[in-house]
Amino acid sequence: MAEVIRILGVDPGSAATGWGVIDCAGPRLAFVAAGVIRPKRAAARAEKLAHIFRELARLIEEHRPGEAAVEATFVNSNPQDALVLGEARGIALLAPAAAGVDVCEYATNSVKKAVTGRGHADKRQVQAMVRILLPASGAQSADAADALAVAVAHAHMRGVRKICA
């Protein structure tokens, strides 16, 4: 019987950070939990980041992942939006690392290709494939489905990527 590895996937964002937890035993995947962290809109930026960190830390404590995967930043035409997203990504990388969990990063196109077979799939296609690959997940929001897709991509690539940089 294959060893079970619990994986936390994170789709970072300052307004909505998707998260998903799956169990991986060899080629078998099982849905554990998923959701979205939504800081208060009116909160100061530092408080939004603190909220994301606290919630990710709580989820890590609750679900005890052995590995984490975070979606890498895509190119953004607005420098301010890219900066804010980068700050949320920093928190998404910090929370598992601070808990002693190994963290890998995956480009958006790599995640989409691992889940749908197409690097430029749209959000609906990702959501549909996550429901097929993880039937117990049911219908998830786009942010939660994206986080589950990151976890699935990591599960598929973890044998190839021994070390995450």
**Residues acting as catalytic residues:** 11, 71, 143
Distance CA 35, CA 9 (A): 11
In the beta sheet, which residues pair with residue 25? 4, 28
- Taking the CA atoms of 18, 138, 103 and 124 in sequence, report the sign of the dihedral they define: negative
Distances from the Cα of 66 to the Cα of 29, 34, 71, 158, angstroms: 15, 16, 17, 12
Please classify residue 107 by burial: count the beta carbons closer than 10 Å to its beta carbon, then call 0-12 exposed, 13-18 middle and 19+ buried. middle
Distance CA 12, CA 99 (A): 18
Cβ-defined contacts of 78-82 (< 8 Å, 24+): none
